[in-house]
A and B are shown apart, each in its own frame.
Chain A
């Protein structure tokens, strides 16, 4: 038997492990201002190295069965918020429309972190610029099931990115997406560890081989990943020629206000973006 640490004063434990979403929301709402939900805990636990102490109260989500599961059907898919990058990478079937997500889940950070860090954590870690899953999910046009004390909502990724900074307790339950005939690619640099620029692409072509529809999401350039609507609008109807697409990306890169951080200055993130766009189109072309 070990005893360690100082005696706790308040009745609420610094770490609670609810079994249901409702219970978790209650704990989050009642825990006071310095209460945070943890999933894989990798962002919170390394907080002290960023000068952010571990919050006073943690609500661990690992016992909530509803947050689990990777279910990929012929028409749609659902991934529970508590699934780790590693589990997602291994559970996704080999399919062109899921390739970007598989690469994002399988190449992020390092193996140890991939075994811990979850989908939900990736979605909710405000301040974590290098999140790989977010742009990949944007390309899938995924919808996020969010639970709040007021009830459940299914919102798209753009709306989610705005609401994740909002006050008030919420939990990500799962993401859902439709299966499509789109082909996808996830290009990032550097190829290992944490990226400083990400282009995630999904695309469908028409009978003439022109771009019928596409989604291009950009991560690690601005504080939050986003769909590049300006690029998408102009690319539709064009040939998916990698060099041409890179040129287009260069032309419209003023759409971004890049962040500068120690791992890369803002100009660099932007400068390599057209290259990543080119590589994403090349990957798709290569894989037919």
Chain B
């Protein structure tokens, strides 16, 4: 049936229901759940990188005081992974990175567990290592996974081999012909980015128990269903034997989009018969962080005399670390981030995931996009410099508009980026610029564009109507701080049922109660879970109107849900309360509840044959951003101050504009952190050198700037009420915009992120070596597996 719900009734600045407990310290996060009856566990980790394991002996540890159980490789026989099952839970015959788990020990106290960990014997023999992607790709490089062929892979025929864990590629049009044109200018750029560490304030961990023959894992995750699947898989038990529940999550940003140490806690719970808490220390969390990956990018474009892009080719090397993990999936994104935004007459891109003997990388807010937008936008500015065109004019000329094909041949709907650029100019007009605040320092301004895809995908929701007129929303979505399940989805449910969102009770994620959900991340929750909840609302609404129709002697089609009542259309105040209808239904038909489901509409289609090795070929729900920054660079110290930051963001419809702005503010500061503050470095053993807050520098309050925000509404969206995901994409151009603005301020060729003060000073002093990626062939076809 046609719902005819006015989406404007969903729009409000609803406050957060979880805020009161969070500001009074009452919220119980996973890390707060280890009482005196709970065993405390630690992971024993490899002290060095690439090595062959000769012997692991836990017998002395097992005899230590207070030790109740030890989980080892024998307890986790199966490999796991994303796309390719290449990762053991615990080290077996070889160690591939420093910090790799050897075993886990549960004891009465943390001190006892640590003492036992210290006496685990690990005898190894050093092996040759690949610490960089250049080393891993060199001819004759030692293989991290000599048995790669034997690994289970979710799709057949994908290009992979040697130290290349996965390769995605896209080819559209005749790129060679474009570059051969006599009239084009060819612009070539090389870029490199380091890793970014999430530093959620709550580290990864889990509290597990074994009850009635099933595992119960309480964890700080974005993906309860993935944790359920991976925990079961590695132990070799049926997934139905694992229950995952999720309390409020103390920050995630993509880090908690994978199962990590949850299965270890589950194994220990079964072995000890006790509840076990296993939480990473800050040092472990930092040194085994599934970071935003470091990447090397080569990109070349053929530009026509009119300033159009006749051809573009690129190679992106993504460092997976020792195991494929999320990078395998994310290799697909290159076509939609580096390949996005601009109209390309022809294009080819290779996106390769490379194994190295370093800690595995993972997902981080705007995965892959945050650095590909940096590469794309710096390349765009290098093009403008070469052909002598104004960067704004070039962008306005070339950004995708209605009916244009994307990199994979998908036809874009709506003219969005162009008008957003106009809105940015208008916003700048309104706010004014801050050049005067630069003083003696070097001033730079840059405007960049970015494109992201909302990972729509399967979600399900159930709604129960309660006799008091409240409703209970049951989902596996998680509150990670973004507000999507404490503000966005309840607002959608409330608007659909004509009640106030405060009447929507949100059940915490529980895989025993809620149906499958792909997870909270990728900007998908309000869209996918909102759509599933909307479908559930339709079911309960039909039931409500059915009963109300009997009660009010009015056909259902003439009834509307409004202000907590079932009213006769066009007669406000008529009809009866929703409570009355629910009570009546309980007597006549039984309590009202309903479920709904959603998955990607699959309406977006790529051009056949364009893409290979992709998890999806077309973007289901593209979102766009325009960012602009003004910076002042101190030429004496290389320090960058962000004077102003402006955002025009395609939000579809902002149903909670205040919350949307809060997400954008937070994401932009994280993006600025990526651009100029946050550096992860890899040491001589392949390990992450930073150990915590002392050595990893995130933005402080003094580094923040108030972001001027213009919400661009009305772009096409398959999301409920026209919504789009907003929190993911908002970080995407932080690095890009910092880089372009600093390049403009200093007049230097910025090729790398992060641009910490020493890096910028090295650039301005001319002592930073030029990057030219000798490990990437200038003949594109050499950069793909055949």
CB within 8 Å of B: which residues of A?
A: 5-6, 46, 48-51, 189-190, 192-193, 262-265, 268, 271-272, 275
Known: A262-B689, A263-B695. A189 touches B637 (CB 8 A): yes
Beta-carbon nearest neighbor of B639 in chain A? A190
B638 surroundings in chain A (CB, below 8 A)? 268
Are A192's CB and B702's CB within 8 A?
A: yes
- Interface mask (B747-759 → A, CB under 8 Å = 1, otherwise 0): 0000000000110
A189 surroundings in chain B (CB, below 8 A)? 637, 639, 757
Are A49's CB and B637's CB within 8 A?
A: no
A275 surroundings in chain B (CB, below 8 A)? 636-637
Known: A49-B283, A268-B761. A6 touches B690 (CB 8 A): no
Known: A46-B694, A49-B282. A268 touches B758 (CB 8 A): yes
Are A49's CB and B702's CB within 8 A?
A: no
Partner of B757, one of A46, A49, A268: A268
13 more A-B contacts (CB under 8 A) besides A50-B691, A192-B702, A271-B761? Answer: A49-B283, A49-B692, A189-B637, A189-B757, A190-B637, A190-B757, A263-B697, A268-B638, A268-B758, A268-B761, A272-B637, A275-B636, A275-B637
- Tell me which residues from 274 to 299 in chain B have a Cβ below 8 Å from any Cβ of chain A: 282-283
B702 surroundings in chain A (CB, below 8 A)? 192
Q: Which of B109, B636, B638 neighbours the largest number of chain A CB atoms within 10 Å of its CB?
A: B636
> How far is A189 from B758 in the complex, measured between Cα atoms in Å?
11
> How far is A118 from B757 in the complex, measured between Cα atoms in Å?
29
Asked whether B152 is an interface residue with its Cβ less than 8 Å from the other chain, the reply is: no
- Tell me which residues from 468 to 489 in chain B have a Cβ below 8 Å from any Cβ of chain A: none
Asked whether B174 is an interface residue with its Cβ less than 8 Å from the other chain, the reply is: no
A193 surroundings in chain B (CB, below 8 A)? 697, 700
> How far is A192 from B681 in the complex, measured between Cα atoms in Å?
23
> How far is A254 from B744 in the complex, measured between Cα atoms in Å?
33
- Tell me which residues from 610 to 660 in chain B have a Cβ below 8 Å from any Cβ of chain A: 636-639
Asked whether B111 is an interface residue with its Cβ less than 8 Å from the other chain, the reply is: yes
Partner of B765, one of A5, A264, A271: A271
Are A265's CB and B757's CB within 8 A?
A: no
Q: What are 11 A-B residue pairs whose CB atoms fall within 8 Å in the complex? A: A49-B691, A49-B692, A50-B691, A50-B694, A51-B283, A51-B691, A190-B639, A190-B757, A192-B702, A262-B679, A264-B757
Known: A189-B637, A272-B761. A262 touches B282 (CB 8 A): no
> How far is A70 from B578 in the complex, measured between Cα atoms in Å?
71
> How far is A19 from B221 in the complex, measured between Cα atoms in Å?
50
Are B694's CB and A49's CB within 8 A?
A: yes
> How far is A265 from B679 in the complex, measured between Cα atoms in Å?
13
**Min CB distance, B761 to chain A, in Å?**
6
B282 surroundings in chain A (CB, below 8 A)? 49
A262 surroundings in chain B (CB, below 8 A)? 679, 681, 689-690, 695
A268 surroundings in chain B (CB, below 8 A)? 638, 757-758, 761
Are B639's CB and A264's CB within 8 A?
A: no
> How far is A48 from B637 in the complex, measured between Cα atoms in Å?
32
Beta-carbon nearest neighbor of B703 in chain A? A192
**Min CB distance, A134 to chain B, in Å?**
19
> How far is A40 from B757 in the complex, measured between Cα atoms in Å?
31
> How far is A278 from B284 in the complex, measured between Cα atoms in Å?
42
A6 surroundings in chain B (CB, below 8 A)? 109, 111
- Interface mask (B674-718 → A, CB under 8 Å = 1, otherwise 0): 000001010000000111101101001010000000000000000
A50 surroundings in chain B (CB, below 8 A)? 691, 694
Q: Which of A48, A262, A265, A268 neighbours the largest number of chain B CB atoms within 10 Å of its CB?
A: A262
Beta-carbon nearest neighbor of B680 in chain A? A262
**Min CB distance, B186 to chain A, in Å?**
35
Beta-carbon nearest neighbor of B767 in chain A? A267
A264 surroundings in chain B (CB, below 8 A)? 757-758
> How far is A272 from B681 in the complex, measured between Cα atoms in Å?
22
Beta-carbon nearest neighbor of B636 in chain A? A275
Partner of A265, one of B109, B639, B700, B758: B758
B109 surroundings in chain A (CB, below 8 A)? 5-6
A51 surroundings in chain B (CB, below 8 A)? 283, 691
Beta-carbon nearest neighbor of A275 in chain B? B636
**Min CB distance, A141 to chain B, in Å?**
29
**Min CB distance, B678 to chain A, in Å?**
12
A190 surroundings in chain B (CB, below 8 A)? 637, 639, 757
> How far is A271 from B638 in the complex, measured between Cα atoms in Å?
11
A49 surroundings in chain B (CB, below 8 A)? 282-283, 691-692, 694
> How far is A192 from B758 in the complex, measured between Cα atoms in Å?
16
Q: Which of B679, B681, B691, B758 neighbours the largest number of chain A CB atoms within 10 Å of its CB?
A: B758
> How far is A250 from B716 in the complex, measured between Cα atoms in Å?
59
Closest 9 CB pairs of A and B: A275-B636, A268-B758, A262-B695, A49-B692, A189-B637, A272-B637, A192-B702, A264-B758, A49-B691
**Min CB distance, B553 to chain A, in Å?**
67
Q: Which of A46, A48, A265, A272 neighbours the largest number of chain B CB atoms within 10 Å of its CB?
A: A272
> How far is A85 from B689 in the complex, measured between Cα atoms in Å?
30
> How far is A192 from B700 in the complex, measured between Cα atoms in Å?
10
> How far is A268 from B692 in the complex, measured between Cα atoms in Å?
22
> How far is A178 from B220 in the complex, measured between Cα atoms in Å?
58
Beta-carbon nearest neighbor of A190 in chain B? B639
> How far is A264 from B762 in the complex, measured between Cα atoms in Å?
12
**Min CB distance, A145 to chain B, in Å?**
31
B111 surroundings in chain A (CB, below 8 A)? 5-6
Q: Which of B283, B637, B689 neighbours the largest number of chain A CB atoms within 10 Å of its CB?
A: B637
> How far is A265 from B702 in the complex, measured between Cα atoms in Å?
23
A46 surroundings in chain B (CB, below 8 A)? 694
> How far is A262 from B761 in the complex, measured between Cα atoms in Å?
16
- Interface mask (B425-461 → A, CB under 8 Å = 1, otherwise 0): 0000000000000000000000000000000000000
**Min CB distance, B664 to chain A, in Å?**
25
A271 surroundings in chain B (CB, below 8 A)? 761, 765
**Min CB distance, A107 to chain B, in Å?**
12
Beta-carbon nearest neighbor of B694 in chain A? A49
**Min CB distance, B615 to chain A, in Å?**
36
Beta-carbon nearest neighbor of B689 in chain A? A262
> How far is A51 from B687 in the complex, measured between Cα atoms in Å?
15
Beta-carbon nearest neighbor of A46 in chain B? B694
B697 surroundings in chain A (CB, below 8 A)? 193, 263
> How far is A5 from B111 in the complex, measured between Cα atoms in Å?
9
**Min CB distance, B107 to chain A, in Å?**
12
**Min CB distance, B312 to chain A, in Å?**
36
**Min CB distance, A59 to chain B, in Å?**
22
> How far is A190 from B756 in the complex, measured between Cα atoms in Å?
11
**Min CB distance, B754 to chain A, in Å?**
13
> How far is A190 from B638 in the complex, measured between Cα atoms in Å?
10
Beta-carbon nearest neighbor of A279 in chain B? B636
> How far is A153 from B483 in the complex, measured between Cα atoms in Å?
62
> How far is A263 from B638 in the complex, measured between Cα atoms in Å?
14
A5 surroundings in chain B (CB, below 8 A)? 109, 111
A48 surroundings in chain B (CB, below 8 A)? 283
**Min CB distance, A270 to chain B, in Å?**
11
Beta-carbon nearest neighbor of A110 in chain B? B700
Are A272's CB and B636's CB within 8 A?
A: yes
> How far is A197 from B694 in the complex, measured between Cα atoms in Å?
17
B695 surroundings in chain A (CB, below 8 A)? 262-263
> How far is A263 from B759 in the complex, measured between Cα atoms in Å?
12
**Min CB distance, B740 to chain A, in Å?**
23
- Interface mask (B108-125 → A, CB under 8 Å = 1, otherwise 0): 010100000000000000
> How far is A135 from B323 in the complex, measured between Cα atoms in Å?
48
**Min CB distance, A262 to chain B, in Å?**
5
> How far is A51 from B637 in the complex, measured between Cα atoms in Å?
31
> How far is A153 from B700 in the complex, measured between Cα atoms in Å?
42
> How far is A36 from B111 in the complex, measured between Cα atoms in Å?
21
- Interface mask (B246-264 → A, CB under 8 Å = 1, otherwise 0): 0000000000000000000
> How far is A275 from B639 in the complex, measured between Cα atoms in Å?
13
> How far is A242 from B697 in the complex, measured between Cα atoms in Å?
31
> How far is A51 from B695 in the complex, measured between Cα atoms in Å?
13
Beta-carbon nearest neighbor of A193 in chain B? B700
> How far is A6 from B110 in the complex, measured between Cα atoms in Å?
11
- Tell me which residues from 725 to 763 in chain B have a Cβ below 8 Å from any Cβ of chain A: 757-758, 761
